[in-house]
Structure 1
């Protein structure tokens, strides 16, 4: 599961649907794997407007990456700063969570991640 995917996941428990604590899910005991992929600057520039920057910043910090800037970079800033573009590519595209858990900040439910796939099936008492 790429770090980019974590930016779009929220808790599946019905009681959490309307709370802000259910997003983002927090990685716990994360085992990370890094792929070596060619930088696709067009892809990064096109997905940046869809990224929830505060959630990405939280996830990056929890995974042990250096702190991200307080504000997301603009398209012009990314085009001009090759290092920032490579760093974001590394975080979003090359880093994968292979094992661990994703924890809801609202209810505390833990979703297991095995072989890079999160299990979002809920037990009957949480549906």
Structure 2
């Protein structure tokens, strides 16, 4: 599961739909059953893609996710980039590319801060299916 994907998913438990705590889902670093594992996958660098996806990114949620994964290098405020080819933005766009597109969660859990439900990630695939007692 790429980090980019985590910025677009929230808890699927119906009761959480109206809670602001259902997003972002939080990564549990030390779950006994399933420790968090990250991998790096080489993806062709495209500053235009990162530039175009940036307006769709929930920046506070990305900061939380990055921090939980040990990355504290992002600026506190969402950057305003006018030209993705400008040299002054090159390093930031590369850092975002690495975080969003090349960093992959291969195993672990995500937890809803509202209801505490755990979503398991195995072989880079997150399971968002709910158990029977949580399905409306």
Alignment of 1:126 onto 2:134: yes
Tell me the equivalent position of 2:111.
103
Q: Deviations over 1:38-89 (max 9, x none)?
A: 2101101100000000000000000111242121111227543211111111
Tell me the equivalent position of 1:39.
45
TM-score (norm 1): 0.94
Structure 2, unmatched stretches of 5+, are 30-35
Q: Deviations over 1:2-45 (max 9, x none)?
A: 00000001000011000000000011232100112221011011
Counting helix residues as a fraction of each chain, which structure ranks higher?
Answer: 1
Q: Aligned Cα RMSD in Å? A: 1.3
Alignment of 1:49 onto 2:55: yes
TM-score (norm 2): 0.88
Aligned length: 127
Alignment of 1:22 onto 2:22: yes
Point out 4+ residue stretches in structure 1 off by more than 3 angstroms: none
Structure 1, unmatched stretches of 5+, are none
